[in-house]
Structure 1
Amino acid sequence: MFWKKDPPAQGGSARTKRDSGDEALDSLGLVLRVLGEHAFDTDRLEARDVRELFEDWSSRVLIGGRGEEKGRDWGGLRRFVTEHRREESEYVRRAVGDLREAVQSFARCVTRGMTADQDDDSGLRVQCARLSQAAETNDIELLREQAARMVDLTSRALERREARHEQHVQILSEQLRKLQSELSTARESAARDPLTKLYNRAALDAQLERLVDLGQLLGKPPCVMMVDIDHFKALNDTHGHVMGDNALREVANCLQRSFLRKEDFVARYGGEEFSILVLDCDEAGAERLTQRVLEAIRQISIPAGASPIRPTVSVGLAWLQRGDTPATWIDRADAALYRAKHSGRNRAEISPREVVAPLGEERRGSLRPQGTSQGSARRVSQRPEGSP
């Protein structure tokens, strides 16, 4: 009959189920990776180790090809996630408990101090009443006795109060030092990228704001370098995300070692891109800095089977200019970076520097790029196209 429909093909139903299963595996792998990305230190493991464990489990979930169960340990995954969540919960509960104990200790000190002060004040009020009564009797001996007792009670009350206050200050100082240490550690951890241990994007944004505000007061303008790992997507696709993370850590460590001054600021901008803020940088210094970065990264060798990975980077540098915001400053460095990328990678481009004439001189021609024509840029440490 025309209203009867043919049953669906068996192959189509199986294919739909297989596609749904693959999508579920992809989603589970992504969830595990995200959990690792936002891990924090616990008593047993550092955040970096936790991230690696979650990355490993994410890979094991997807191992063996689509639709295959080989290599997947679902029971082990459940035990790992359950145990890790328990460790995180205990760590947070204890950290909150330490804070609660500090607050309660403060409250106890205040309460005990107030109670003891009230007891002393009550005794002094009673003695004041007795002294007043003695004054009304015109009995000199009684008046002298009550006055002496009043002086004695007042003196001892003041001594006890001073001793209590010193003890309370000592207790509270110890609690505050402990809290300050924990808060400092937490603040530093919050400002760090969990994978590379460099400053994170939020810390970078705050530092950019500070330098933009203070830039006009500095003797030489600060500069920002944007550093991007060349062909990073191909590295990830060829060697996997674990090896990609290793490359990010190696490059981050290399950059950190290359900029050791206290005022230098090295951060992970995002993905495979890094930012470096350097104070009092002139043209010659910019040439040296970009050369230092390129040469240092070229020395990295990451074991990967028969052929080690030898990453390279492209670099863009820009100075802070008058009227800049953090966004416009970064944009110029990014533009220089992409010129380096489009020119063959494994090299650096330096944006022209704005030169401002000293106050009192003619403004005519006071804004010009130093050492180059307007709109041009210098290329640093170019290597042959066939170099690694």
Structure 2
Amino acid sequence: VVRLFIETFHRACVDDAETEHEVEKQLGALREAADNPDTEALRNTVRECVAHLEEAGRVRREREKKRLLALSDRVDKVSEELAAAREQMATDALTGVYNRAGFDEQVSLIVQLGAIAAPAAFLFMIDVDHFKWVNDRYGHPAGDAVLASVARALTKTFRRKADFLARFGGDEFAAVILEADANAARAIGERMLFAAREVSVTHEGEEIRVGISVGAAPQRVGEDAAAWIERADRALYRAKEKGRDCLVVVS
């Protein structure tokens, strides 16, 4: 972006020099005409110089307008490229959802918002059941396919664009649902369980099916992100203790 401004400034200086040269040229013509005793010749020279100066001014204004439009277009393009690069940096390459860095950034914003408005979000911690067994039996490529399929299935359970899913690490996902109470959280959690049960991955002619365990915790006033994640993680642990493939919502 800085380079764009430098190039534009340099071009403006060059153009200004050209305009300045034209102005000096016309002023020189006026000086010569002033020494001419012929009044009519002086009048004609003044008219010509004024016309030239007006044209130089018009050309300069048009040039400035085009330059500013071109600069605006280039800045917009660079901004879009930077935004795309930032989004790519926050996206998990395997699943296409947020990665841990993207998750941390989003949750931090939600916590900050909760400090100035009544918090009404739920955090879900999600674990793919027996994923180590899948990797050990079928290999990591099959495990990767399972993770990608689970991510797609879970994402489809969200009704609003503001809700999001992230790969928290390994076979663990995290999701944040905004403006949800306990009843809504349970309904969403049940949809997640059902969606995961429908996941089917075929590997070397064999079908792989998995389930998930889900723990959910509401956002609390004055609570930081780490404490919120810890409460949701404890709920997830309780879901695993209950036999997996289930949901635990804490208050």
Matched residue, 1:323: 222
CA offsets 1:162-214 (integer angstroms, 9 cap, x no match): 22223323433443344344333322222210000101111111111110111
Matched residue, 2:131: 232
Q: CA RMSD, aligned part only?
A: 2.7
The answer on 1:341 being equivalent to 2:248 is no
| Gaps in structure 2 of 5+ consecutive residues | none
Q: Hey, what's the Cα distance between the residues in 1 that align with 2:212 and 2:218?
A: 20
Seen in structure 2, the aligned counterparts of structure 1 residues 133 and 235 have a Cα distance that, compared at 3 Å, is same
Matched residue, 1:194: 93
TM-score after normalising by structure 2? 0.88
Structure whose residues are more often strand by fraction: 2
Instruction: Assess if the C-alpha contact under 8 Å between 2:135 and 2:142 holds in 1.
Output: yes
The answer on 1:147 being equivalent to 2:34 is no
Matched residue, 1:167: 66
Instruction: Assess if the C-alpha contact under 8 Å between 1:227 and 1:337 holds in 2.
Output: yes
Instruction: Assess if the C-alpha contact under 8 Å between 2:124 and 2:215 holds in 1.
Output: yes
Matched residue, 1:111: 10
* Structure 2 residue identity aligned to 1:337: L
The answer on 1:302 being equivalent to 2:205 is no
SS at match of 2:165: strand
* Structure 2 residue identity aligned to 1:222: A
SS at match of 1:267: strand
Q: Hey, what's the Cα distance between the residues in 1 that align with 2:117 and 2:198?
A: 34
SS at match of 2:78: helix
Q: Hey, what's the Cα distance between the residues in 2 that align with 1:305 and 1:135?
A: 96
Q: Hey, what's the Cα distance between the residues in 2 that align with 1:311 and 1:213?
A: 36
Of residues 140-149 and 260-269 in structure 1, the stretch that sits farther from structure 2 once superposed is 140-149
Kindly state the Cα deviation for residue 307 of structure 1 after the two structures are TM-superposed.
Answer: 5.2
CA offsets 1:150-170 (integer angstroms, 9 cap, x no match): 321220111111222233234
Instruction: Assess if the C-alpha contact under 8 Å between 1:220 and 1:282 holds in 2.
Output: no
Q: Hey, what's the Cα distance between the residues in 1 that align with 2:125 and 2:153?
A: 15
Of the three residues 125, 139, 160, the one matched with 1:261 is 160
Kindly state the Cα deviation for residue 120 of structure 1 after the two structures are TM-superposed.
Answer: 1.7
Instruction: Assess if the C-alpha contact under 8 Å between 1:226 and 1:276 holds in 2.
Output: yes
Q: Hey, what's the Cα distance between the residues in 2 that align with 1:162 and 1:180?
A: 27
Kindly state the Cα deviation for residue 143 of structure 1 after the two structures are TM-superposed.
Answer: 4.8
CA offsets 1:132-165 (integer angstroms, 9 cap, x no match): 5656878754553443233212201111112222
Q: Hey, what's the Cα distance between the residues in 1 that align with 2:94 and 2:174?
A: 15
Instruction: Assess if the C-alpha contact under 8 Å between 2:26 and 2:53 holds in 1.
Output: no
Instruction: Assess if the C-alpha contact under 8 Å between 1:258 and 1:293 holds in 2.
Output: yes
* Structure 1 residue identity aligned to 2:234: A
Seen in structure 2, the aligned counterparts of structure 1 residues 293 and 131 have a Cα distance that, compared at 3 Å, is same
* Structure 1 residue identity aligned to 2:229: I
Instruction: Assess if the C-alpha contact under 8 Å between 1:315 and 1:336 holds in 2.
Output: yes
The answer on 1:283 being equivalent to 2:186 is no
Instruction: Assess if the C-alpha contact under 8 Å between 2:8 and 2:67 holds in 1.
Output: yes
Alignment of 1:81-230 (within 5 A): 103=3, 109-131=8-30, 140-141=39-40, 143-218=42-117, 221-230=120-129
CA offsets 1:212-244 (integer angstroms, 9 cap, x no match): 111145555111101011111122112111111
SS at match of 1:263: coil
Kindly state the Cα deviation for residue 265 of structure 1 after the two structures are TM-superposed.
Answer: 1.1
Of the three residues 125, 140, 143, the one matched with 1:241 is 140
Instruction: Assess if the C-alpha contact under 8 Å between 1:219 and 1:280 holds in 2.
Output: no
Instruction: Assess if the C-alpha contact under 8 Å between 2:92 and 2:98 holds in 1.
Output: yes
TM-score after normalising by structure 1? 0.59
Identity of aligned residues (%): 37
Q: Hey, what's the Cα distance between the residues in 1 that align with 2:99 and 2:141?
A: 20
| Gaps in structure 1 of 5+ consecutive residues | 1-98, 353-388
Seen in structure 2, the aligned counterparts of structure 1 residues 220 and 210 have a Cα distance that, compared at 3 Å, is closer
